Copies of this chain bind each other. A is one copy, B any other.
């Protein structure tokens, strides 16, 4: 009779800003192995509002294409009420007052959820041939962290 297991791990990183993408697949795979969980679901999660975790190919040409597309769809030089300090009254954050990040929030919402859920089988993430787990920075250079939560047997 299988027993349920829940495993969790948190990692920190320093991003470079400017829509940088970090391949965290090896760390996530290590976490799944360390969990001792053979069958289940892994949830890889960004606790930041201007980052996300996404699964896709880690190929520099594609990442250049995608960041170009994102900048075109969500221009950083438009007006953002989120960055209008003469008007804003909620969630004031001194650090953000120097460099606006309204466009980063919009990019994050457009990209979708904060994390990705991936099936685990025989102790391995069920990533396809070209799939990698990517941590995407949509804001400036910052200290960040991501979590992985594995639930299964």
- Identical chains in the assembly: 3
A101 CB, min distance to chain B CBs, angstroms? 9
Q: What total of chain A residues lie within 8 Å of the partner, measured CB to CB? A: 68
The A interface, classified by DSSP as helix, strand, loop or mixed, is mixed
Q: Which residues of B contact A82 (CB under 8 A)?
A: 59, 61-62, 65
Q: Which residues of B contact A87 (CB under 8 A)?
A: 61
List 26 interface pairs A-B (beta carbons < 8 Å), by A numbering: A2-B4, A2-B5, A4-B153, A40-B149, A41-B151, A43-B118, A45-B117, A45-B119, A45-B126, A49-B56, A49-B57, A49-B128, A54-B109, A55-B114, A56-B108, A56-B114, A59-B88, A59-B91, A60-B90, A61-B88, A61-B90, A62-B82, A66-B106, A113-B117, A119-B147, A120-B149
